[in-house]
Amino acid sequence: MVIAILSSALLASWLPLQASVATVFLLAGPHNWFEFRYFLTRLPVRFGRSRNFFVTAFVGLAVLSALYVSLPVIYRFTSLSSDGLLTVTATWNTLLLGWMCLLVWLRSKQKPRSNWFWFVPLTLALCAFNWANPNFFSLALVYIHPLVALWFLNRHIRRTRPTWLSSYRRCLALVPIVLAFMIWQLQQSPSLAEDNGLFWRITQHSGAELLPTVSSHLLVSVHLFLEMLHYGVWLLALPLITKVNSHNSALTVWDIKSIPLAKHPRGFPRTVTFGLALGFALVLMLWIGFSIDYATTRDIYFTFAMAHVMAEAPFLLRMI
């Protein structure tokens, strides 16, 4: 893991734009497939007393995703002022926070011995920050989201390989040190050239417009470094741990019967198989789209990718 952290930081600092293009092209789709498969393994065959939690999770995920996908249409084809657009963004962010707070409350009812009340003032504080700076709140999500994968890995190791946990956390302590070193090294570097629409999109996605006094080289490198760690967790770390835990020479990620929702007598093997096959087809379509028109496909991907970002919340809560 130490080698992965250091090599990711080096590549992200050395060739931020080129590495960003290559990383998204190669890994964006596959990592979503692996993440989807992992979530399927966490779904119970019957919801039981978790019914309200999962219904709220799935309904909120569907509604919020649909609203998020509609935001670019609202921004492009309405005559709202800049303040009006900020209000739309802040409203969606507030709905997201409210949904997450409701999920925490429902989860707390299943674990009454745990103290979950702290999430209410935290949600209110985040709502206040969101309405004061909705664009900065959205940008914070861009940088925080990749770190959630490291939390998933922490919870997974704690459950399946507790003897590895101390070593993992020592490796994890290297991440803030590497980030601090990157900031120190790149803070005075000249901003990246935005001589085409694609490079402009990459720098804007990293916050160059909102933080004009900060080098876009620094912003893109830091974001890319975090994204590479994120991809590494879903594509390498979690599948390898799953393989070790299965004591099977075959890669368990390709075995449909290793998913409880598919192998249980009351499960849904055909539905799971169809979902994974559809996901694989979407990965192929994404690669084709990147090959034909990378910039447009990237925009479409990051619009719809918010769904998988939100999907991580209920599954992470279930692991706590």
Distance, in Å, from the CA atom of 316 to the CA atom of 320, rounded to the nearest integer, reads 7
In a domain, 71, yes or no: no
Residue 273, pLDDT above cutoff 60: yes
Distance, in Å, from the CA atom of 205 to the CA atom of 214, rounded to the nearest integer, reads 14
pLDDT in tens, 51-74: 899 999 999 999 999 999 888 777
Neighbour tally for 170: CB within 10 Å:
11
In a domain, 261, yes or no: yes
Domain extent, residue 307, equals 2-51+145-319
Question: How far is C-alpha 183 from the chain's CA centre?
Answer: 23
In a domain, 183, yes or no: yes
Stretch 161-173: mean pLDDT: 89
CB 176 within 8 A of CB 112: no
Instruction: Tell me whether residue 109 is exposed, middle or buried, using C-beta atoms within 10 angstroms of its C-beta: 0 to 12, 13 to 18, 19 or more.
Output: exposed
Give Cα separations from 293 to 192, 285, 300 (angstroms): 22, 12, 11
Give the pLDDT band of residue 29 (cuts 50, 70, 90).
Answer: very high
The crossing angle, in degrees rounded to 10, of helices 174-186 and 216-232 is: 160
Residue 14, pLDDT above cutoff 80: yes
pLDDT attached to residue 244? 57
In a domain, 134, yes or no: no
pLDDT in tens, 177-216: 999 999 999 988 998 887 777 888 899 989 988 999 899 9
pLDDT in tens, 105-152: 888 887 766 677 788 899 999 999 999 999 999 999 999 999 999 998
- Two structure tokens written together for 198: 């694609």
In a domain, 166, yes or no: yes
Domains identified in the chain, total number = 1
Stretch 163-175: mean pLDDT: 90
CB 116 within 8 A of CB 104: yes
In a domain, 98, yes or no: no
Q: Rounded mean pLDDT of the chain?
A: 87
CB 134 within 8 A of CB 93: yes
pLDDT attached to residue 252? 61
In a domain, 218, yes or no: yes
User: If you ran DSSP here, which 8-state letter would residue 320 be given?
Assistant: -
In a domain, 63, yes or no: no
Identify the three-state secondary structure at position 1: coil
Q: Which residues of 185-196 are buried (b: 16+ CB within 10 A; e: fewer)?
A: ebeeeeebebee
